[in-house]
Chains A and B, each alone.
Chain A
Amino acid sequence: MTVAGGTRVAVRQRLLEPDERAPSLPEDTAALPYEALVRGILLEPAEVGAHATVRTATGRVLSGRLEVVEPADLHTFGRPAPALIAVDEAISELLRRLRG
C-alpha cells in the first residue's frame, strides 16, 4: 500500500543489531536487535514496510521502515478484574460501617 506524503505515520529504526548491543545483557534481550519507533509526517509517498522519511514533532528528519499509518493511542480503562471488583465491594462495606 502506498501512503501519501503528508500522512502521519510511525517508522521503525534499527539502531543496533544483536551483535552490536551493550555487553552483559540478559540472554533473551541480547538475541534481539535494539529498535525505536518514532512518529512523524511522511515527507514523500512510501510503501508500508519500505524505507520512509518523516519529519518529527521537533522538526528532525528521520528515516526508517514505515510501520504504522496514522498511529493511534488506543490504550483504554480496561476490563475490571474480578479481584478488583471484590476489593471495591469490600471497601464499600468498610465505608458503610464507618458512616454507620
Chain B
Amino acid sequence: MTSKSTAYAAVMERRAEILERALGIDYVALERGGVRFDHDALMDIGLDLDGIRQVQRDAGVGETPLVELHNVTELVRRGAGPGKGARILVKDEAANPSGSFKDRRASLSANHARRTGYAGMVAATSGNYGAGVASQAARHGLRAIVIQEAFDSRGRGQPEILEKGRKCETLGAEVIQTTVGPELFYLLLRVLEETGYFNASLYTPYSVRGIETLGAEIAEDTRALCGCDPDVVLATHAGGGMVTGTARGLLAVGADHTQVVGVSVDLTGLHMASDGAFNRKSFTTGHSGFSIPFTSWPDRVDVPRNAARPLRYLDRFVLVTQGEVFFATELLARAEGLERGPAGNISLAAAIPLAAELDRDQVLVISETEYTGAGKAPTPQLAFAAEMGVDVRNGTRDDDRPGEVISIPLSLDQLGVTPVDLDRLRSSYLRKAMTMPGAEAPAAQAFVAADLGFGVKDLVALSV
C-alpha cells in the first residue's frame, strides 16, 4: 500500500482533485475564462426557495421569531432628533437547533451529503458553523469533523472558541483543535482526503443559498408585523455569506428597496495569522480581519470559487468597536430580556446610531441573534482579554484600540459607526481582477461589474 505524501506542498498540489471528490462540484466547468465564472450556474443546486424551506423545516431549522425591540427603540428615540428613531427588530436566530443562523447554512450541505452518499461532513471553522454542521449531521445520520484554529503556542484558547468546540463535541462531532496558522486549509484537505467526507465549506452554494430563507423570512415577518418591507437590514459581515444569502432572500420575495448594510467589528491592525495577536482579539468572527479581505477578493477560500459575492449585494458597510458590541450585548439583556450574542450584537451596536438617523415610521431589522453562555458572554470574554494584557475600561469609541484597549461606552449617544468606503474595496477588487488572464474581454468586464454591484461604464472611471 502506498500512502500519499502529507508534505504541505504535496497536499496543496492535490487540492483540486481532493475538493472535487469532496464536493462533487466541477468548478472548472463553470470557469468562463480569466476572472469570469458562471455564478448563476454555481448557485443552481436544484432547489428553489420553497424547496430550501422544506429541507430546513424537516430539519427543524428556520422560521424563527422576529422580535421588536420596543425599549431599545424608545431609548434611541429619546436621544434622536424630532421625528427620528426607526423601529428596531431582530430575527431571533438563536432559536435554531444549534443556536445560530449557521444551521441554515449547514442544513443544505447535510441534505446534499446524505442524498449523494457521503458518510460524513468536514468543516474548518472556529465559529458557530461547527455546531451547525455537527447538529445537522446528527439529524441526517452523518458523521462530522470540525477543525478549529483554537490555541496559541502557549496552549491558551479564547473561551468563546473553547465553548464552540465543547458544543460540537456535545452534538457528537470529532473536534480537531489546531495552533495558529493558515494551514487550517491544508489540514482540511488532509482530513477530506483521508475520510472521503463531504466538504461542508462555508462558501459553497449549499451554504450560501441556505441563508436565503433568512432574508425571505425577514421580509415576510416584517410585512406581517409592520405592514411594510424593512427599510434597512443589518447583517454581521465576515466571509460574505450572511450578506449574500440574506440579500438574495430579500430579493427573492420582492423586497428590492431594502438597504443591506454589512457590519463588522473593527480589528484594524491585528494580523490574523499571528500567534502573538491571536488571543488579543475578543471576536472570533464578524470582524474586519475577515470582512475587508473577503469583500475585496471573495475567492480566497477553501473552495475554488466563493459562492458569496458581498460587493454584489452590499449597499453600505460600517465598522463598530469592540466596546460598543459589549455595550449592545448588555443593553439587549437588560432592556429587552434577551441574553444573546455576541455575533448579532455587532449589528445591534450599529443599529442604535443608524436608527437615530432614520424616521420613526421606518423599520430596521437586525438579521440574527446567537446563543450565548459560558465562554461566549461578555464577562468571560473581557476577563480573558484582561489576562492577555488588553486594557478594559469605559470610554468612547475613539479610545478603542484593537489588541490594546477595549473601550466600553456608558450611553447610547456614545455609539457610532465608521464607514468603510465600498469604492475603495471595489477598486482593490478591480486591480486584482485586471491582473488575471482575459480580463480585458467584454464578458469578463460584465462579470466584474456584476461582482462590484454596478455598471461596466463605472468600471472605467474607477480603474483610472
Q: Which residues of A come within 8 Å of B, CB atoms?
A: 15-16, 20-22, 25-26, 28-29, 32-40, 56-60, 73, 75-81, 83-84, 86-88, 90-92, 94-95, 98
Contacts and interface: CB of A to CB of B under 8 A. Distances in A.
Given A36-B177, A91-B334, A98-B75, A78 B411 contact: no
Contact of B166 (A20, A32, A38, A75): A75
Nearest to B190: A15
Contacts of A98: 71, 74-75, 78
B124 to A, nearest CB: 12
Nearest to A20: B8
Interface string B247-281: 00000000000000000000000010111100000
9 contacts: A15-B178, A26-B274, A58-B143, A81-B382, A84-B326, A88-B330, A90-B411, A92-B334, A98-B78
Nearest to B7: A20
Interface string B399-413: 000000010111110
A32 B169 contact: no
A22 B384 contact: no
B182 A94 contact: no
B276 A34 contact: no
Contact of A57 (B173, B177, B406): B173
B85 to A, nearest CB: 13
A75 B161 CA distance: 10
Interface of B: 6-8, 71, 74-75, 78, 120, 143-145, 147, 150-151, 153, 159, 162-163, 165-166, 169, 172-183, 186-187, 194-195, 271, 273-276, 326-327, 330-331, 334-335, 374-375, 377-384, 386, 392-394, 406, 408-412
A36 B187 contact: yes
B183 A15 contact: yes
Contacts of B379: 77-81, 84
A60 B405 CA distance: 43
Contacts of A86: 394, 408, 410
A57 B174 CA distance: 5
Contacts of A36: 147, 176-179, 187
Contacts of A32: 153, 179-180, 275
A9 B187 CA distance: 21
A83 B393 CA distance: 5
B90 to A, nearest CB: 17
A56 B172 CA distance: 10
A21 B177 contact: no
Interface residues of A: mostly helix, strand, loop or mixed?
mixed
A38 B178 CA distance: 9
Contacts of A75: 159, 162-163, 166, 374-375, 380
7 smallest beta-carbon distances between A and B, as pairs: A78-B380, A78-B383, A75-B375, A78-B379, A57-B174, A73-B166, A75-B159
A29 to B, nearest CB: 5
A20 B334 CA distance: 51
Nearest to A99: B71
Contacts of A15: 6, 178, 183, 186-187
Given A37-B177, A57-B175, 12 more contacts: A15-B6, A15-B183, A28-B275, A36-B179, A39-B169, A58-B195, A75-B162, A77-B377, A78-B377, A78-B384, A80-B382, A88-B334
Given A88-B330, A92-B334, A81 B180 contact: no
Contacts of A25: 181-182, 273
A83 B179 contact: no
B151 A37 contact: yes
B155 to A, nearest CB: 9
Nearest to B382: A81
Given A57-B169, A58-B195, A78-B384, A22 B181 contact: yes
A95 to B, nearest CB: 6
Contacts of A37: 150-151, 176-178
A15 B174 CA distance: 17
Contacts of A33: 179
A58 B144 contact: yes
A76 B383 CA distance: 10
B380 A77 contact: yes
A85 to B, nearest CB: 10
